[in-house]
């Protein structure tokens, strides 16, 4: 899936680069803003995870990680009291130039190392009062050994640059394509239980990420929109807190993300807006 996502994003970027210069629509003119809220579904490549602490230093190889979407219910996805429970996306953007936007967003993804999987391990850790060493041996990720999750958020706090290209300029409905690039800081609240230690469970800066984005946007009456997005990118986490004792883990992986979002355009300051350009 990841290769397909990256291929599609490159295709979208190439198409956009060849598009002719267009006049701005009323909602993509300089000085306009928008906000959106929606939900994501993510996938991740396998990754090596290195754990370090006073009583352990080992690496797990090719660990399988998945997302964890919330069960689809009204309370989980549409209630004001449960909106932050599922994997969600929020973004605020400003058009600093016609058709060009700068944005700030949070992608609340979730990452779960698959339970009870068998992986290779190299290194050592303390067990029953003595150190046990491993060299490329099989080990099963049982509950008493390791639970590794970023389920209170693999929080991808990002800044983005995007360009809007209009494909269909209708009277009431427009169709736009929006390629872009984003760079992020990762602020997870990791749920890690390692060797029976008390988990850290604190928000912390653990790394960075970057991604390409391609979006298909349907705008209604120059005001409201629904948008589907496809992202492909890279995450590097050199310092994940795994316990209150100062233990840490590190990993990096590629990811793909599919989003469905709803939003609206607005302007903060009173000004004269041009009418929608007419076709020649």
Percent of the chain with pLDDT over 70: 88
Beta bridge partners, 189, equal 203
- Domain annotation covers residue 113: yes
- Domain annotation covers residue 241: yes
Ranking 54-68, 114-128, 146-160, 195-209 by mean pLDDT, the lowest is 195-209
- Domain annotation covers residue 272: no
CATH code of the domain in which 126 resides: 2.40.160.20
| Lookup result for tokens 């700068």 | 102
For residue 224, what is the enclosing H or E element? strand 224-241
Beta bridge partners, 148, equal 192
CA–CA–CA angle 215, 220, 221 (5° rounding): 140
pLDDT of residue 73: 72
Number of compact structural domains in the chain: 1
pLDDT of residue 280: 40
CB proximity list for 8: less than 8 A, separation 6 or greater: 214, 230
Mean pLDDT for 80-89 is 82
Ranking 75-84, 122-131, 154-163 by mean pLDDT, the lowest is 75-84
- Report residue 26: phi and psi, to 5°: -55, -35
Q: Which of 263, 244, 130, 135 is nearest to 194 (CA)?
A: 244
- Domain annotation covers residue 223: yes
pLDDT of residue 9: 57
- pLDDT > 70? residue 226: yes
CA pair distance 134, 120, nearest whole angstrom: 9
Q: Which domain covers residue 142, as residue numbers? A: 2-266
Q: pLDDT category, 18, cuts 50, 70, 90?
A: very low
Mean pLDDT for 204-212 is 97
Mean pLDDT for 155-160 is 97
- Domain annotation covers residue 279: no
């Amino acid at each position: 899936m990841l290769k397909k996502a990256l291929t599609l994003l490159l295709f979208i970027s190439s198409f956009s680069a060849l598009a002719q210069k267009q006049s701005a629509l009323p909602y993509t003119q300089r000085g306009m803003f928008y906000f959106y809220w929606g939900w994501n579904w993510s996938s991740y490549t396998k990754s090596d995870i290195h754990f370090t602490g006073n009583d352990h230093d080992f690496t797990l190889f090719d660990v399988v990680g998945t997302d964890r979407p919330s069960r689809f219910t009204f309370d989980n996805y549409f209630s004001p009291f449960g909106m932050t429970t599922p994997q969600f996306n929020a973004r605020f953007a400003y058009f600093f130039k016609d058709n060009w936007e700068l944005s700030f967003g949070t992608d609340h993804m979730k990452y779960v190392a698959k339970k009870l999987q068998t992986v290779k391990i190299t290194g050592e850790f303390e067990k029953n009062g003595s150190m046990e060493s491993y060299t490329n041996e099989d080990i099963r990720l049982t509950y008493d050994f390791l639970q590794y999750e970023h389920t209170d958020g693999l929080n991808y706090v990002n800044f983005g640059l995007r360009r809007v290209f209009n494909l269909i300029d209708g009277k009431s409905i427009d169709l736009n394509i929006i390629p872009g690039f984003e760079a992020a800081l990762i602020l997870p609240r990791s749920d890690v239980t390692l060797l029976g230690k008390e988990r850290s469970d604190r928000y912390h800066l653990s790394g960075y990420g970057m991604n390409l984005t391609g979006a298909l946007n349907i705008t209604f009456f120059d005001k409201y929109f629904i948008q589907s997005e496809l992202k492909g990118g890279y995450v590097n986490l050199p310092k994940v807190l795994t316990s209150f004792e100062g233990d840490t883990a590190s990993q990096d992986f590629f990811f793909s993300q599919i989003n469905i979002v709803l939003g609206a355009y607005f302007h903060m300051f009173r000004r004269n807006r041009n009418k929608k350009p007419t076709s020649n």
